[in-house]
Amino acid sequence: MTMSVYLSALSVTNLISRMPAAVAQGIIWGLMALGVFITFRLLDIPDMTVDGSFATGGAVTVMLLLAGMPAWAALLIAIVVGVLTGLCTGFLHTKLGIPAILAGILTQFALYSINLRIMTKANQTASVQKFGMFWENGNGFLVSSLHIPQAILVGLVLTAIIVALSYWYFGTEQGSALRATGNNPAMSRAQGIHIGTMKVIGLGISNGIVALAGGLMTQFQGTADVSMGRGAIVIGLAAIVIGEILCDAIFSKGCNFAVKLCFIIFGGVVYYAVMVVILWLKLDPNDLKLFTAIIVAAFLAIPQLKAQSKSSFSRSKKRAISERSDA
Protein backbone atom coordinates (compact mmCIF):
# COMPACT_ATOMS: atom_id res chain seq x y z
CA MET A 1 0.00 0.00 0.00
CA THR A 2 2.66 2.49 1.10
CA MET A 3 4.86 1.38 -1.78
CA SER A 4 2.17 2.09 -4.35
CA VAL A 5 1.52 5.48 -2.77
CA TYR A 6 5.24 6.20 -2.99
CA LEU A 7 5.48 5.08 -6.61
CA SER A 8 2.39 6.96 -7.69
CA ALA A 9 3.87 10.10 -6.16
CA LEU A 10 6.87 9.81 -8.50
CA SER A 11 6.26 11.54 -11.77
CA VAL A 12 8.50 10.77 -14.71
CA THR A 13 7.53 14.01 -16.40
CA ASN A 14 8.69 15.82 -13.31
CA LEU A 15 12.06 14.07 -13.51
CA ILE A 16 12.46 14.85 -17.20
CA SER A 17 11.54 18.48 -16.61
CA ARG A 18 14.30 18.75 -14.02
CA MET A 19 16.99 17.28 -16.25
CA PRO A 20 17.95 20.33 -18.39
CA ALA A 21 18.76 22.37 -15.27
CA ALA A 22 20.73 19.40 -13.95
CA VAL A 23 22.74 19.24 -17.17
CA ALA A 24 23.48 22.99 -17.04
CA GLN A 25 24.71 22.78 -13.46
CA GLY A 26 26.52 19.53 -14.19
CA ILE A 27 28.54 21.25 -16.91
CA ILE A 28 29.62 23.94 -14.42
CA TRP A 29 30.60 21.30 -11.85
CA GLY A 30 32.36 19.41 -14.63
CA LEU A 31 34.39 22.52 -15.39
CA MET A 32 35.30 22.69 -11.72
CA ALA A 33 36.29 19.02 -11.86
CA LEU A 34 38.65 19.86 -14.73
CA GLY A 35 40.50 22.12 -12.30
CA VAL A 36 40.60 19.35 -9.70
CA PHE A 37 41.88 16.94 -12.37
CA ILE A 38 44.97 19.10 -12.94
CA THR A 39 46.07 18.81 -9.33
CA PHE A 40 44.68 15.39 -8.44
CA ARG A 41 45.66 13.43 -11.55
CA LEU A 42 48.45 15.42 -13.22
CA LEU A 43 50.30 16.74 -10.16
CA ASP A 44 49.27 13.90 -7.84
CA ILE A 45 48.20 16.42 -5.17
CA PRO A 46 44.75 16.22 -3.59
CA ASP A 47 44.25 19.99 -3.40
CA MET A 48 41.78 21.00 -0.71
CA THR A 49 42.00 24.67 -1.68
CA VAL A 50 39.14 24.23 -4.15
CA ASP A 51 36.40 24.22 -1.51
CA GLY A 52 37.49 27.77 -0.71
CA SER A 53 38.46 29.00 -4.16
CA PHE A 54 35.12 27.93 -5.67
CA ALA A 55 33.34 30.23 -3.19
CA THR A 56 35.99 32.91 -3.74
CA GLY A 57 35.18 32.84 -7.45
CA GLY A 58 31.51 33.27 -6.57
CA ALA A 59 32.17 36.01 -4.02
CA VAL A 60 34.38 38.05 -6.35
CA THR A 61 31.89 37.67 -9.20
CA VAL A 62 28.85 38.73 -7.21
CA MET A 63 30.53 41.76 -5.63
CA LEU A 64 31.92 43.00 -8.94
CA LEU A 65 28.49 42.58 -10.55
CA LEU A 66 26.94 44.60 -7.76
CA ALA A 67 29.66 47.21 -8.28
CA GLY A 68 28.51 47.53 -11.88
CA MET A 69 31.16 45.56 -13.72
CA PRO A 70 30.20 43.53 -16.82
CA ALA A 71 29.64 39.87 -15.98
CA TRP A 72 32.37 38.62 -18.33
CA ALA A 73 34.92 40.96 -16.77
CA ALA A 74 33.88 39.85 -13.30
CA LEU A 75 34.59 36.26 -14.34
CA LEU A 76 38.02 37.17 -15.65
CA ILE A 77 38.92 38.80 -12.34
CA ALA A 78 37.48 35.82 -10.46
CA ILE A 79 39.91 33.63 -12.44
CA VAL A 80 42.85 35.85 -11.45
CA VAL A 81 41.86 35.77 -7.75
CA GLY A 82 41.41 32.00 -8.02
CA VAL A 83 44.94 31.68 -9.41
CA LEU A 84 46.21 33.67 -6.42
CA THR A 85 44.55 31.24 -3.95
CA GLY A 86 46.34 28.38 -5.73
CA LEU A 87 49.65 30.23 -5.60
CA CYS A 88 49.13 30.68 -1.85
CA THR A 89 48.73 26.92 -1.36
CA GLY A 90 51.73 26.36 -3.62
CA PHE A 91 53.82 28.76 -1.56
CA LEU A 92 52.85 27.05 1.72
CA HIS A 93 53.70 23.66 0.23
CA THR A 94 56.86 24.28 -1.79
CA LYS A 95 58.53 27.15 0.07
CA LEU A 96 57.47 26.40 3.66
CA GLY A 97 57.48 22.62 3.34
CA ILE A 98 53.92 22.08 4.59
CA PRO A 99 52.45 18.82 3.23
CA ALA A 100 50.33 19.55 0.15
CA ILE A 101 47.04 18.37 1.61
CA LEU A 102 47.52 20.43 4.77
CA ALA A 103 48.60 23.50 2.78
CA GLY A 104 45.33 23.26 0.85
CA ILE A 105 43.29 22.88 4.03
CA LEU A 106 44.99 25.96 5.54
CA THR A 107 44.28 28.10 2.48
CA GLN A 108 40.72 26.86 2.33
CA PHE A 109 40.26 27.67 6.03
CA ALA A 110 41.66 31.16 5.56
CA LEU A 111 39.52 31.71 2.46
CA TYR A 112 36.35 31.30 4.52
CA SER A 113 37.21 34.52 6.35
CA ILE A 114 38.43 36.19 3.18
CA ASN A 115 35.24 35.28 1.33
CA LEU A 116 33.20 36.79 4.15
CA ARG A 117 35.32 39.93 3.90
CA ILE A 118 34.77 40.09 0.15
CA MET A 119 31.00 39.69 0.45
CA THR A 120 30.70 41.54 3.81
CA LYS A 121 28.12 38.89 4.81
CA ALA A 122 27.39 35.20 4.34
CA ASN A 123 25.59 35.61 1.01
CA GLN A 124 24.91 38.18 -1.65
CA THR A 125 22.37 38.21 -4.43
CA ALA A 126 22.65 39.68 -7.90
CA SER A 127 19.35 39.22 -9.68
CA VAL A 128 19.31 38.41 -13.34
CA GLN A 129 16.19 40.57 -13.82
CA LYS A 130 18.25 43.62 -12.90
CA PHE A 131 21.38 42.84 -14.92
CA GLY A 132 19.90 41.07 -17.92
CA MET A 133 21.69 38.49 -20.05
CA PHE A 134 24.92 38.78 -21.97
CA TRP A 135 23.22 38.40 -25.35
CA GLU A 136 20.72 41.13 -24.45
CA ASN A 137 23.07 43.94 -23.44
CA GLY A 138 26.66 42.66 -23.70
CA ASN A 139 27.29 43.10 -19.97
CA GLY A 140 24.75 40.75 -18.44
CA PHE A 141 24.98 37.22 -17.05
CA LEU A 142 26.53 34.51 -19.20
CA VAL A 143 24.38 31.79 -17.65
CA SER A 144 21.18 31.80 -15.68
CA SER A 145 18.72 29.27 -14.32
CA LEU A 146 16.00 31.27 -16.04
CA HIS A 147 17.50 30.51 -19.47
CA ILE A 148 18.42 26.86 -19.28
CA PRO A 149 19.02 26.00 -22.98
CA GLN A 150 21.24 29.05 -23.38
CA ALA A 151 23.02 28.20 -20.13
CA ILE A 152 23.82 24.74 -21.48
CA LEU A 153 25.08 26.21 -24.75
CA VAL A 154 27.25 28.87 -23.07
CA GLY A 155 28.52 26.26 -20.60
CA LEU A 156 29.53 23.97 -23.47
CA VAL A 157 31.28 26.78 -25.35
CA LEU A 158 33.24 27.89 -22.27
CA THR A 159 34.08 24.28 -21.48
CA ALA A 160 35.29 23.71 -25.04
CA ILE A 161 37.57 26.75 -24.72
CA ILE A 162 39.02 25.56 -21.39
CA VAL A 163 39.50 22.01 -22.71
CA ALA A 164 41.24 23.35 -25.82
CA LEU A 165 43.51 25.60 -23.77
CA SER A 166 44.33 22.75 -21.37
CA TYR A 167 45.04 20.38 -24.24
CA TRP A 168 47.40 22.92 -25.75
CA TYR A 169 49.16 23.85 -22.50
CA PHE A 170 49.75 20.30 -21.30
CA GLY A 171 51.21 19.45 -24.68
CA THR A 172 53.81 22.24 -24.51
CA GLU A 173 57.32 21.86 -23.11
CA GLN A 174 56.26 23.47 -19.83
CA GLY A 175 53.03 21.47 -19.61
CA SER A 176 54.98 18.24 -20.22
CA ALA A 177 57.38 19.22 -17.44
CA LEU A 178 54.39 19.77 -15.17
CA ARG A 179 52.99 16.32 -15.97
CA ALA A 180 56.41 14.76 -15.42
CA THR A 181 56.61 16.46 -12.01
CA GLY A 182 53.43 14.73 -10.88
CA ASN A 183 54.44 11.44 -12.45
CA ASN A 184 58.04 11.11 -11.23
CA PRO A 185 59.55 13.98 -9.21
CA ALA A 186 63.01 12.36 -8.91
CA MET A 187 63.27 11.91 -12.65
CA SER A 188 62.01 15.45 -13.23
CA ARG A 189 64.72 16.95 -11.04
CA ALA A 190 67.33 14.85 -12.81
CA GLN A 191 66.05 16.28 -16.11
CA GLY A 192 66.51 19.81 -14.82
CA ILE A 193 62.88 20.56 -13.96
CA HIS A 194 62.26 22.77 -10.93
CA ILE A 195 59.43 20.74 -9.45
CA GLY A 196 58.44 23.41 -6.91
CA THR A 197 57.74 25.92 -9.67
CA MET A 198 55.76 23.35 -11.61
CA LYS A 199 53.58 22.53 -8.60
CA VAL A 200 52.90 26.22 -7.95
CA ILE A 201 51.94 26.79 -11.61
CA GLY A 202 49.66 23.74 -11.60
CA LEU A 203 47.93 24.78 -8.37
CA GLY A 204 47.44 28.28 -9.80
CA ILE A 205 45.90 27.08 -13.06
CA SER A 206 43.70 24.58 -11.24
CA ASN A 207 42.25 27.10 -8.81
CA GLY A 208 41.80 29.65 -11.58
CA ILE A 209 39.51 27.20 -13.38
CA VAL A 210 37.73 26.32 -10.12
CA ALA A 211 37.08 30.02 -9.38
CA LEU A 212 35.72 30.46 -12.93
CA ALA A 213 33.28 27.63 -12.22
CA GLY A 214 32.34 29.30 -8.92
CA GLY A 215 31.68 32.56 -10.76
CA LEU A 216 29.51 30.80 -13.33
CA MET A 217 27.56 29.00 -10.60
CA THR A 218 26.93 32.35 -8.93
CA GLN A 219 25.54 33.78 -12.17
CA PHE A 220 23.48 30.66 -12.77
CA GLN A 221 21.88 30.82 -9.32
CA GLY A 222 21.94 34.61 -9.04
CA THR A 223 23.55 34.32 -5.64
CA ALA A 224 26.85 33.57 -3.95
CA ASP A 225 27.14 31.94 -0.57
CA VAL A 226 30.17 31.60 1.67
CA SER A 227 29.59 27.85 1.94
CA MET A 228 28.80 27.22 -1.75
CA GLY A 229 32.13 25.43 -2.22
CA ARG A 230 31.69 22.99 0.62
CA GLY A 231 32.53 19.53 -0.67
CA ALA A 232 33.67 20.82 -4.07
CA ILE A 233 36.76 18.59 -3.92
CA VAL A 234 34.58 15.50 -3.45
CA ILE A 235 32.21 16.51 -6.25
CA GLY A 236 35.26 17.11 -8.45
CA LEU A 237 36.65 13.67 -7.61
CA ALA A 238 33.24 12.11 -8.29
CA ALA A 239 33.14 13.74 -11.74
CA ILE A 240 36.71 12.59 -12.44
CA VAL A 241 36.17 8.96 -11.47
CA ILE A 242 32.80 8.73 -13.25
CA GLY A 243 34.28 10.35 -16.36
CA GLU A 244 37.35 8.11 -16.34
CA ILE A 245 35.34 4.93 -15.92
CA LEU A 246 33.01 5.85 -18.77
CA CYS A 247 36.01 6.83 -20.91
CA ASP A 248 37.78 3.53 -20.22
CA ALA A 249 34.61 1.62 -20.94
CA ILE A 250 34.10 3.30 -24.30
CA PHE A 251 37.76 3.63 -25.36
CA SER A 252 39.28 0.48 -23.92
CA LYS A 253 42.47 1.03 -25.91
CA GLY A 254 43.09 4.48 -24.46
CA CYS A 255 42.18 7.81 -25.98
CA ASN A 256 43.35 11.30 -26.73
CA PHE A 257 44.00 13.65 -23.80
CA ALA A 258 41.34 16.12 -25.01
CA VAL A 259 38.75 13.32 -25.09
CA LYS A 260 39.69 12.42 -21.51
CA LEU A 261 39.12 16.01 -20.46
CA CYS A 262 35.71 16.06 -22.18
CA PHE A 263 34.75 12.93 -20.30
CA ILE A 264 35.45 14.69 -17.00
CA ILE A 265 32.91 17.37 -17.93
CA PHE A 266 30.54 14.58 -18.88
CA GLY A 267 31.29 12.94 -15.51
CA GLY A 268 30.16 16.17 -13.83
CA VAL A 269 26.90 16.05 -15.76
CA VAL A 270 26.30 12.39 -14.90
CA TYR A 271 27.07 13.07 -11.24
CA TYR A 272 24.60 15.92 -11.09
CA ALA A 273 21.92 13.97 -12.95
CA VAL A 274 22.27 11.11 -10.45
CA MET A 275 21.84 13.59 -7.62
CA VAL A 276 18.65 14.89 -9.20
CA VAL A 277 17.34 11.32 -9.56
CA ILE A 278 18.10 10.68 -5.89
CA LEU A 279 16.17 13.80 -4.92
CA TRP A 280 13.36 12.84 -7.26
CA LEU A 281 13.14 9.48 -5.48
CA LYS A 282 12.33 11.58 -2.44
CA LEU A 283 15.34 10.44 -0.47
CA ASP A 284 16.37 12.80 2.26
CA PRO A 285 18.51 15.58 0.70
CA ASN A 286 20.54 15.56 3.92
CA ASP A 287 21.90 12.16 2.85
CA LEU A 288 23.25 13.42 -0.50
CA LYS A 289 26.77 13.99 0.77
CA LEU A 290 26.83 10.50 2.24
CA PHE A 291 25.82 9.03 -1.13
CA THR A 292 28.46 11.07 -2.92
CA ALA A 293 31.17 9.97 -0.52
CA ILE A 294 30.18 6.32 -0.96
CA ILE A 295 30.19 6.64 -4.77
CA VAL A 296 33.61 8.32 -4.82
CA ALA A 297 35.12 5.85 -2.33
CA ALA A 298 33.75 2.92 -4.35
CA PHE A 299 35.15 4.18 -7.65
CA LEU A 300 38.52 5.19 -6.20
CA ALA A 301 38.78 1.70 -4.70
CA ILE A 302 38.22 -0.08 -8.03
CA PRO A 303 41.91 -0.33 -9.09
CA GLN A 304 42.84 -1.79 -5.69
CA LEU A 305 39.93 -4.22 -5.66
CA LYS A 306 40.70 -5.32 -9.23
CA ALA A 307 44.29 -6.10 -8.23
CA GLN A 308 43.08 -8.01 -5.17
CA SER A 309 40.71 -10.13 -7.21
CA LYS A 310 43.76 -11.42 -9.10
CA SER A 311 46.14 -11.81 -6.20
CA SER A 312 45.51 -11.75 -2.48
CA PHE A 313 46.54 -13.69 0.61
CA SER A 314 43.10 -15.15 1.10
CA ARG A 315 43.14 -16.46 -2.48
CA SER A 316 46.60 -17.94 -1.97
CA LYS A 317 45.33 -19.63 1.19
CA LYS A 318 42.34 -21.14 -0.63
CA ARG A 319 44.59 -22.39 -3.42
CA ALA A 320 47.02 -23.90 -0.91
CA ILE A 321 44.20 -25.71 0.88
CA SER A 322 42.73 -27.09 -2.33
CA GLU A 323 46.15 -28.24 -3.54
CA ARG A 324 46.70 -30.04 -0.26
CA SER A 325 43.33 -31.79 -0.44
CA ASP A 326 44.05 -32.81 -4.02
CA ALA A 327 47.31 -34.45 -2.98
Q: Would you tell me which residues interact with another protein (CB under 8 A)?
A: 169, 171-177, 179-180, 183-184, 186-195
**Least distance (Å) from another protein to the CB of residue 164?**
14
Alpha carbon distance 263, 250 (integer Å) = 10
Q: Pick the closer one to another protein by CB: 189 or 319.
A: 189
Residue 98 CB, nearest approach to another protein (Å): 20
Least spacing, CB of residue 321 vs another protein, in Å: 33
Please list, in sequence order, all residues whose beta carbon lies within 8 angstroms of the beta carbon of residue 53, skipping any fewer than 6 positions away.
82, 85, 86, 107, 108, 111, 207, 210, 211, 214, 229
CA distances from 303 to 36, 260, 309 (A): 20, 18, 10
* Dihedral, CA of residue 40, residue 74, residue 118 and residue 165, to nearest 10: 10
Which one, 118 or 201, has the nearer CB to another protein? 201
Q: Among residues 39 and 108, whose Cβ is nearest to another protein?
A: 39
Nearer to another protein, 127 or 176 (CB): 176
The amino acid at residue 142 is L
Q: Least distance from C-beta 178 to another protein, angstroms? A: 9
User: How far apart are CB 194 and another protein at their closest, in Å?
Assistant: 5
How far is CA 261 from each of CA 34, 45, 53, 78, 150, rounded to the nearest angstrom? 7, 18, 21, 22, 22
Name the nearest CA neighbour of 271 among 3, 23, 59, 77.
23
Q: Nearer to another protein by C-beta: 132 or 196?
A: 196
